[in-house]
């Protein structure tokens, strides 16, 4: 199954760097050596074994953009599953960026009306002031420019976990059976008496699916309607929007801001996600940490394989589930041993392999 993903944005905004970090497992420092992309670089990224992401990294220089919007329009904008448009948070010429963006969106609506649109406000690490406010302001501008196309905005940087968060969400919408996977993960979680089970893709370590919490995550803090960053907005949405892959655009439109504003607002704020109140940024931080560790293993010419830990706060096992996925089981019950968890993973393997095979064929 192939899904076409368009990666567009102004020249130098960071598209190829993102690709290098997430898909090619290069460290952030290596992106400094990348040159400008000439025309379109097509990459077929094998994701989850049978799902192929046909990633079109479109060079952002003016001449290329002009050609995409004129002669190459139908080639570029047809059969698109997802458009990812990258803006630099401190862009030199925001008006021009917006102009090109509007044209792209128009072209997209014409040739691929069903495509989802994600906007990444990149290089957030360069913002010296209040990141949340800057992101809010930018998001408003972008929403206006998008007219009636539903969009999701993320603030990202290659130097922290925000990029993993954005891409995990994006890729999640492309996985056809995410809800089914989530359901099975929940079963696995129940079997292990686990608090949480997370499924990661093997190479990129992006989050594919997670188990839903055992008790409904009704927090006592009232749901706030405003778009101002509030932890409550994030909490009621965070545990629920993950398994829902069906309506990514509408449900995540309002959560788009709160996710990222939560990220830059205060990770030491309210850790309100479900009855266990764990750190809301844990998924992407796990992706980031494991990937960094994998890189350091590679330097010693070893390959990271599996991990288990018994810490005072929790017990966790990270192991291969299928040939394309890794599973992380987090248990808060001190009487459960890692060997038991590993046994369950072994037993669950076949089922998950089957699941992956089935769904992607259909």
Partner 1 sequence: MTSLNGYGSSSSTVLSQTNGVNGHTKSPLRTKILLLGMRRAGKTSIYEYVFNDLPAKQTFYLETTTRVTKHHYDTVIPLEIWDCPGTTTLETLETPLTQFSTLIFVIDIQDLYQQPISRLVDFVISAYQDNPNMNLEVFVHKADALSEEYKIENFRHIQQRVSEELLDISEEYEQIPINFHLTSIYDHSAHEAFSRVLHKLIDSLPFLEDMLNVFCSNSQSSKAFLFDTKSRLYVATDASPVDPPTHSLCNNYLQMLNSFGPLYKSVSASPLRQRTISPPELTPTSSGVTSPTTPHSVPTSASETPRVPSSSLQHTSPSSSSQQGPSTPLSPTQSTPSVSSPISSSSASSTTPRRKSKISFYPCASTSLSPSASGAGTTLTYHLINPKLALLALLPTSVYESRRGLVEYNVVFFREGVQEICEVEDEIRKGGGG
- In the bound state with partner 1, the residue whose beta carbon lies nearer, of 37 and 195, is 195
Sheet order of strands, 207-210 included: 207-210, 196-201, 325-331, 315-322
58 three-state secondary structure: strand
Asked if 197 contacts 213 with a C-beta cutoff of 8 angstroms, the reply is no
Tell me if 278 contacts partner 1 by CB under 8 A. yes
| Number of other residues whose CB lies within 10 A of the CB of residue 96 | 13
Q: How many residues interact with partner 1 (rule CB under 8 A)?
A: 43
Which listed range, 60-68, 185-193, 203-211, 296-304, lies at the site for partner 1 (CB under 8 A)?
296-304
Output the CA–CA distances (angstroms, integers) from residue 33 to 125, 126, 253, in the order listed. Answer: 19, 19, 35
Nearest to 47 by CA among 334, 356, 304, 343: 356
The Cα–Cα gap between 265 and 70 comes to: 41
Rounded CA-CA distance 288/22 in Å is 10
Concatenate the DSSP letters of all residues of 348-359 into one string: HHHHHHHHHHHH
Least CB distance to partner 1 at residue 271 (A): 6
Minimum distance, C-beta of residue 29 to partner 1, in the bound complex (Å): 9
Of 109, 276, 349, 351, the one binding partner 1 by CB under 8 A: 276
Of the two residues 102 and 285, which places its CB atom closer to partner 1 in the complex? 285
> Does position 221 bind partner 1 by CB under 8 A?
no
- Gap between the Cα atoms of 300 and 49, Å rounded: 27
307 contacts partner 1 (rule: CB under 8 A): yes
Q: Which of 1, 145, 336, 355 binds partner 1 (CB under 8 A)?
A: 336
Q: Which of 196, 201, 231, 262 binds partner 1 (CB under 8 A)?
A: 196
Q: Please, what is the minimum distance in Å from the beta carbon of residue 316 to partner 1?
A: 7
* 62: helix, strand or coil: helix
Give ∠ CA 199-325-58 in degrees, rounded to 5: 95
| Length of the chain (residues) | 362
Q: Does 293 bind partner 1 (CB under 8 A)?
A: yes
Nearer to partner 1, 5 or 194 (CB): 194
DSSP string, 102-154: HHHHHHHHHH-TT-EEEEEEE-GGG--S-HHHHHHHHHHHHHHHHTTS-EEEE
In the complex, the smallest distance separating the C-beta of residue 318 from partner 1, rounded to whole angstroms, is 9
Selected binder of partner 1 within 95, 312, 361, 362 (CB under 8 A): 312
- Is residue 191 close enough to count as binding partner 1 by CB under 8 A? no
Cβ-based nearer residue to partner 1, 335 or 362: 335
- Under the binding rule (CB under 8 A), the answer on residue 262 touching partner 1 is no
Q: Does 286 bind partner 1 (CB under 8 A)?
A: yes
H/E stretch holding 321 reads strand 315-322
Segment near partner 1 (CB under 8 A), from 180-188, 199-207, 221-229, 300-308? Answer: 300-308
Contact at 8 Å (CB) between 211 and 179? no
CB-based contact 87:93 (threshold 8 Å): no
Least separation in angstroms between CB 236 and partner 1: 17
Pick one of 76, 82, 330, 341: the residue that binds partner 1 (CB under 8 A).
330
- Least distance in Å: CB of 31 to partner 1? 14
Binding mask 133-162 for partner 1 (x = CB under 8 A): --------------------------x---
Closest approach of Cβ 326 to partner 1, in Å? 13
What whole-number distance in Å separates Cα of residue 175 and Cα of residue 2?
A: 11
Which residues are near partner 1 by CB under 8 A?
159, 195-196, 271, 275-279, 281-282, 285-286, 289-290, 292-293, 296-297, 299-314, 316, 330, 332-337
């Amino acid at each position: 199954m192939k899904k076409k993903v368009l990666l567009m944005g102004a020249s130098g905004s960071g598209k190829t760097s993102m690709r290098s970090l997430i898909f090619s497992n290069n460290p952030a420092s290596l992106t400094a050596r990348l040159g400008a992309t000439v025309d379109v670089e097509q990459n077929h990224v094998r994701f989850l074994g049978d799902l192929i992401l046909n990633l079109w990294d479109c060079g952002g220089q003016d001449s290329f953009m002009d050609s995409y919007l004129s002669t190459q329009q139908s080639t570029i904008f047809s059969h698109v599953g997802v458009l990812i448009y990258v803006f630099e948070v401190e862009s030199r010429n925001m008006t021009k960026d917006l102009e090109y963006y509007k044209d792209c969106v128009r072209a997209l609506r014409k040739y691929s009306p069903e495509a989802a649109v994600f906007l990444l406000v990149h290089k957030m690490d360069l913002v010296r002031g209040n990141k949340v406010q800057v992101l809010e302001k930018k998001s408003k501008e972008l929403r206006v420019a998008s007219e009636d196309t539903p969009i999701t905005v993320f603030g990202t940087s290659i130097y922290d976990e925000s990029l993993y968060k954005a891409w995990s969400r994006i890729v999640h919408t492309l996985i056809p059976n995410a809800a089914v996977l989530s359901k099975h993960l929940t079963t696995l979680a129940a079997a292990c008496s686990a608090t949480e089970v997370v499924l990661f893709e093997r190479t990129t370590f992006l989050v594919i699916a997670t188990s839903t919490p055992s008790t409904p995550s009704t927090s006592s803090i009232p749901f706030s309607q405003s778009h101002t960053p509030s932890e409550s907005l994030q909490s009621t949405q965070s545990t629920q929007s993950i398994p829902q892959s069906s309506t990514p655009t509408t449900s995540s439109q309002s959560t788009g801001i709160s996710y990222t504003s939560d990220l830059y607002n205060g990770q030491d704020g309210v850790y309100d996600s479900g009855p266990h109140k764990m750190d809301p940024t844990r998924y992407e931080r796990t992706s980031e940490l494991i990937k960094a560790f994998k890189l350091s293993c590679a330097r010693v010419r070893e390959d990271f394989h599996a991990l288990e830990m018994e810490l005072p706060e929790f017990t966790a096992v990270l192991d291969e589930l299928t040939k394309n996925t890794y599973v992380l089981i987090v248990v808060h019950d001190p009487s459960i041993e890692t060997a038991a968890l590993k046994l369950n993973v072994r037993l669950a393997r076949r089922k998950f392999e089957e699941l992956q095979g089935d769904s992607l064929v259909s």
